Amino acid sequence: MKHRARDTIELLQRTAADFIAPVMWPPNSSDLNPVDCAIWSVIQQRVYETRVHVIDELRQCHRLEQLLIDDTVDQRRTRLRNCVRASGGHFEHTL
């Protein structure tokens, strides 16, 4: 996985003060991983929306607006805070 590549992790640890190392990431929970769920669902929708004939068309499907990425990252922060407030318990009702 690219987001776990050693160089990427080292870069983020140096440059992003609030970076959380992968060993601290929660397991595959859609409630705690909106980045994966939200962004992949948008990409999947775009890819299957129209028939792709050449690689350049596929690349166009994968282009995401920065606003979508920013909103999704903000959602993750909110969900993690809610998880901490619930001491790791159920917090879906707060979303």
Strand, coil or helix: 92? helix
What pLDDT does 15 receive? 92
| Domain range list for the chain | 27-94
Q: What is the pLDDT of residue 14?
A: 92
Measured CA to CA in angstroms, residue 95 lies from 25, 59, 81, 90, 92 at distances of: 19, 32, 11, 11, 6
Instruction: Quote the pTM value.
Output: 0.44
Digit-coded pLDDT (tens) for 20-74 = 887 777 666 666 666 666 777 787 787 787 777 888 877 776 677 778 878 887 8
Q: Which pairs with CB-CB distance under 8 Å and at least 24 residues apart come from 54-61?
A: none
Q: pLDDT averaged over the chain?
A: 76
